[in-house]
Amino acid sequence: MTEQNAALISPPAPGFARIRGFFHARRWSWGSVFGGLALWEFISRVIVGSKLFLAAPTQVVYALFDLMRTGEIWKHVWISAFEFFLGYFIACLLGVGLGFLMASFKSCKQAMQPWVSGLYATPTVALAPLFILWFGIGIVSKVMVVALLVLFPVAINTEAGLLNTSQQLVETVRAFGATQRQIFFKVALPSALPFIFAGFKLGIGRGLIGVVVAELFGARAGLGQLISQSAETFNMPNLFAGVTVLAVAGIAMTSGFAKLEQKLLPWRE
């Protein structure tokens, strides 16, 4: 057998095999994405025919690279990211604490349930102009909108997770002499973590919506301001570029939480 034939039948390199396995395992996802982008390109180029009404994916990519080259996009991304993460972090801390109190004390649940249910059902984005009136067009008003949108999914999921703890398991560990503190950290909290992570992931989408809506009503910079300014000037490539950044950020953060959940909750596998 010649060296050329041996090279043809030799197994692929480990790195190449991992990459091929990665794409093969997600072939339907990648096929859906590329198929949707191809359809979008066809509709924009052939049916609509004008980027004033619908920008094609290739035009959006070009606009995104142009914004990156000039550095304009980084200013907007930094402002929106700071507003999002600050509001999201505050809401997660308060939401977990509120959910724990509602699950642990009946009087607290009775007192807070009307407020949680009412504010969760209220279109909080409609309160953005009010927050801007109170706190100005700076970062504080955007953080308040994000925190209010993220708070209640986290609180509701935390409460549901703690209440979903198996009472048989609690009684079993109590029979072996476990203290209330040990029951919480060894049984109740691990049981509630999947629900808490679900609340965190739900909060990502709501928080991104809050940032954009708050910036649409008034902001000096941010992705919402970029989208609003692009819409006013009929610059559809830049508008879709801002939306694309938000979509990619949402996908990346949700995937990151899924990976973290796999690391912290290996028993769920």
- What CATH code is carried by the domain that includes residue 199? 1.10.3720.10
Residue 4 falls inside a structural domain: no
Residue 152 lies in a domain: yes
Residues 181 and 160 in one domain: yes
- The arithmetic mean of pLDDT across residues 168-173, rounded, is 78
Q: Are residues 110 and 237 in the same domain?
A: yes
The answer on 40 and 125 residing in a single domain is no
Question: Which has the closest alpha carbon to 265: 170, 161, 155?
Answer: 161
- Split into its structural domains, the chain has a count of 2
Answer yes or no: is 183 within a domain.
yes
Residue 203 lies in a domain: yes
What pTM was estimated for this model as a whole? 0.79
Q: How far is CA 79 from CA 86, 110, 129, 134, in A?
A: 11, 39, 19, 20
Q: Is the pLDDT of residue 114 over 90?
A: no
| One domain, residues 43 and 150 | no
| 3-state class (DSSP) for residue 46 | helix
Q: How does pLDDT run across 185-240, given as a tens digit for each residue?
A: 777 888 888 888 888 998 998 888 888 888 888 777 888 888 888 888 888 888 98
How would residue 2 be classed by pLDDT, with cut points 50, 70 and 90? Answer: low
Distance (Å, whole) CA 130 – CA 142: 11
List the Cα angle 199/86/198 in 5-degree steps.
Answer: 10
In a domain, 237, yes or no: yes
In a shared domain, residues 245 and 117: yes
Contact by Cβ (8 Å): 55, 44: yes
On the question of pLDDT at 257 being above 60, the answer is yes
In a domain? residue 25:
yes
pLDDT, mean of residues 107-113: 85
Structural tokens at position 210: 């809050």
Q: Find the domain containing 117 and state its range.
A: 60-268
**Over pLDDT 70: what percentage of the chain?**
88
Phi, psi of 180 (to 5 degrees): -65, -35
What does the pLDDT average to over 20-44?
75
CA–CA separation, 160 and 25 (whole Å): 33
pLDDT band at 24 (very low <50, low <70, confident <90, very high): low
SS3 for 222? coil
Alpha helix (H) residue ranges in 122-177: 128-135, 139-163, 167-175
- Rounded Cα distance between 255 and 269, Å, is 16
| Same domain (yes/no): 66, 39 | no
Lowest mean pLDDT among 26-35, 36-45, 155-164, 191-200: 26-35
